[in-house]
Structure 1
């Protein structure tokens, strides 16, 4: 008997084979994407365009792996984050070092007079502003490429709200660890903590999807190698973002459906409290 050709692959998840197709557009869809219709199944795009099936809209609303709503633009938040970074980068080029001095993270920071400055002096906003701030073109371009590529993988799996929480908590976790461990008066800036948070999220998602982990592990290993071998890199921000992003994403995609929102909100709150606890501990030690 001749061997049968492989099954078609889902148009939204090319790694997944499926024998189901949308009854409206006939595109192949996997179990994660298919939405019940009066006859057969429809794809998320056709449902979003209006299916007229007569089912309750919320019951048929397609969901991401983490339970978020599937959006038409799967990089919407990623584009906004890149735009914020771009605006700050242009502002730094126009204004100069003065803006960097005002917004960058300063770990273990003292003036020559012994006076505390930065986060230790109550400027907590630096924990987040530093995560969107760049001064050099190569640094900016490298981080924006990472945001675009890895964000394009992670955002569709989480949905906009959960992905936004991941971005903010990854940046904050990177800043918190940098604040805790950085040498005296060392500046820390850049979206690397966010990018490494997305890398941590990608690892969790790949395991959850049971993908081949070898390419992911190789990418993580190379990223860590660059972190610890290139001079002038804030490895603290990278590791903090990586761990924070992985913890948040694990809670988002493994939360039981019956208590999904409660578990997800609680996990994000605990990561936030951990970051704030690190900052308070460090500030108290400097006082």
Structure 2
């Protein structure tokens, strides 16, 4: 037993995430295999999925698998260690960012919609490699999903919704209790909340998560959609943090297409959707390598590249 414990000490995964753009070393990428087909309207989690279910344009499994494998190939190209969930038959496991997130060396399990609890069990083979003392479960009343959480140096930027009608919105995923819990968990960080616009019906008026209307990129740049924020002062705070000249403002249609939901492999390399022409050209103008992939089918579920990745280790 002594030898086993000695060996196990060296098999533990050493988590490290302090920002969105440092060199990526390990990540959990979701899977679209055995996706289960279009959900019923009352089973959909967001207005964009509802829109495509009604229109008969909900994405096909084979197309989503093809898109996700294109991302896996890019990650392999950059020698990133990629973990995948165990496949649950007829179940959506694309958006791993929803189910957990890493800050510093802590793995925080998200308090997600009850119907999605199977998803965290499907990455148990990853969780088993983490020091149990570093695995955190927030209090039950602290609702949170990883798409709302962005470590940024001394800050943790958090999307939330503070309205009294919070419980009326299936699109409201992170509450004030979670913001407070994060501040207690990371007392050395400044947790900054942003009140996001929510809609159960209109995907063009809904910021499902913070990464649906904002994301840092490169060394000092950011992508942002002003209309995703309920408080213009909070939007202005972010613009001031990066500086106006370093901010790429996206339109309502670009937000709908998920332009702010790309994914950084490093400060110099991002994975982006191949149709994001204006954004991709802007990124390249600052010397950032853009690895373009097809991801427009995944986007029909109101999530894109950041949503389907759960970073574990960055340099």
Superposed pair shares fold, TM > 0.5? no
Please give the TM-score of this superposition, normalised by the length of structure 1.
0.28
Q: Which has the higher helix share?
A: 1
Q: Which has the higher strand share?
A: 2
Please give the TM-score of this superposition, normalised by the length of structure 2.
0.26
Structure having greater relative contact order (Cα 8 Å, sep ≥ 6): 2
Whichever of the two has the greater Rg, that structure is 1
